[in-house]
Chain A
Amino acid sequence: DTEVTQTPKHLVMGMTNKKSLKCEQHMGHRAMYWYKQKAKKPPELMFVYSYEKLSINESVPSRFSPECPNSSLLNLHLHALQPEDSALYLCASAVDPTYEQYFGPGTRLTVT
């Protein structure tokens, strides 16, 4: 089973809203990732968690706040987003940071 699940599938939020994206995997993977993807572009790395600790923050604005409550779950908390933050947000996981990454189906976020 190489499944990464993400909820919600779609999200529309205003610039003053607070919302959260959720990612889950039950493969025992110890590395989890958040990516942002614009149409027809490759994914851009935002955050990496390795063994539940934040190991990489790619200079992401503080309006995006990641959280890893346990080894199976990864959240991305959103607050005061801008319209240019509208994108497909992808979660991925790997056995550890040296192994191949498996992506979830993504959350399509629209900021109005």
Chain B
Amino acid sequence: DIVMTQTPLSSPVTLGQPASISCRSSQSLVNSDGNTYLSWLQQRPGQPPRLLIYKISNRFSGVPDRFSGSGAGTDFTLKISRVEAEDVGIYYCLQTTQFPWTFGQGTKVEIK
């Protein structure tokens, strides 16, 4: 199975300041079709997960443009340009290049 490792596991951020989360996979996520199936999910307290970013850098419908994704191969990053109060929650990276799907441990974003 592909192991997904996120850092940091906790990220206290000041409102209006940027935040960054890293995700590393134990092997390349490049699929045989040429796509890299690395996604980022947000889970607000008491809510189901919600897709933010898919295929490394594509924002899902309705996702604010302060969220951006980047990376390649085995190293990926989610950035929030200016954290807002509604961004509090746990963020997960997810690889769907091969079965079984595997998730990072989650990064808790909270306001300082």
A binds B: no
